[in-house]
Amino acid sequence: MELIEHHASVGGWQNVYRHNSQTLNCEMNFGVYLPPKAVTEKLPVLYWLSGLTCTEQNFITKSGMQHYAAKNNIIVVVPDTSPRGEHVADADSYDLGQGAGFYLNATEHPWNTHYRMYDYILHELPDVVMKHLPVTSRKSIFGHSMGGLGALVLSLRNPDEYVSVSAFSPIVSPSQVPWGQQAFTAYLGENKKTWEHYDPVSLILQGAKLPEIFIDQGLSDAFYEEQLRTKSLERVCKEMNINTSFRYHTGYDHSYYFISSFIGEHIAYHAKRLRLSA
């Protein structure tokens, strides 16, 4: 693992590392914020999954999360959104290929050689983090848009792996919306039964359970009606008796202006639950 960026931030350090991923068959970058307390003790970890077109840079440079991670004594790990490189399959559209990994394990050619982001986030990256950084075994997960989808799927399918989950503007029913239908057809093929493994609404209807889910959604989000379908997740959670907090914010859109407005509350939410689980 190679340290490629090192910036002092809010008394701690914002680092970016590069490593060779065996899961993805390429080099991958990921950001890590180490709060001041990480110098003297091991801390719990909060994984952030970014949305379409993003790299590890968007969240670490735009969200302002370092202030809240330092205050709450929590390490934040920020992976890239897909495998990368000239040898990695790509597409001409922003919502497929590099920058659009959808946090799944692709089964279709040519994507299945590299696009195994589900296994990377669930297994390989936490192993690398545990080996090289001052972390405890306690971890939570959150994300935005495609990353919110990934956070929900990973936690619903692995409820003992993450202490808590939250999301900003997640794609909650990808099987039913254009973004998800295009990606799932390319990565997973035409069999829609396989799509259900990466669809939060489908997983909950099939009995997947979590103690609670926390969602923030902007009501001026251009993708709210067509691509996100937030209300459908709220309905199935109510139907299946999952505790939720859905907050709808007038005037807020899909951007980092929205994320930066409420990121402190999300980090505090996870920090409280990570402390209680210790």
Q: Report how far apart, in Å, the C-alpha atoms of 133 and of each of 42, 137, 214, 217, 249 are.
A: 8, 11, 28, 33, 36
pLDDT, mean over the chain: 96
pLDDT at 227: 85
The pTM of the full predicted model, rounded to 2 decimals, is: 0.96
Catalytic choice (50, 145, 166, 169)? 145
Tokens of 223: 């993708």
Catalytic (active site) residue 145: yes
Which of the listed CATH numbers 3.30.470.20, 3.30.530.50, 3.90.1530.30, 3.40.50.1820 matches domain 2-276? 3.40.50.1820
pLDDT at 73: 97
pLDDT at 225: 82
Interatomic CA distance for residues 250 and 220, integer angstroms: 7
Q: For residue 205, give the amino acid letter.
A: L
Going by their DSSP bridges, the two strands 12-21 and 75-79 should be labelled as: unpaired
Q: For residue 91, give the amino acid letter.
A: A
Interatomic CA distance for residues 181 and 184, integer angstroms: 5
Query: Which residues of the chain fall short of a pLDDT of 70?
Result: 277-278
- DSSP notation for 176-218: GSHHHHHHHHHHH-S-HHHHGGG-HHHHHHTT---SEEEEEEE
Q: In this structure, are residues 104 and 198 in contact, taking their beta carbons and an 8 Å threshold?
A: yes
Strand partners, 31: 16, 78
Q: In this structure, are residues 256 and 48 in contact, taking their beta carbons and an 8 Å threshold?
A: no
pLDDT at 72: 97
pLDDT at 277: 59
Catalytic choice (80, 199, 216, 221)? 221
Phi/psi for 107 (5° steps) reads -115, -10
Which residue matches tokens 């709060």?
35
Catalytic choice (21, 80, 144, 254)? 254
Catalytic (active site) residue 221: yes
Name the CA radius of gyration of the chain, rounded: 17
Catalytic (active site) residue 137: no
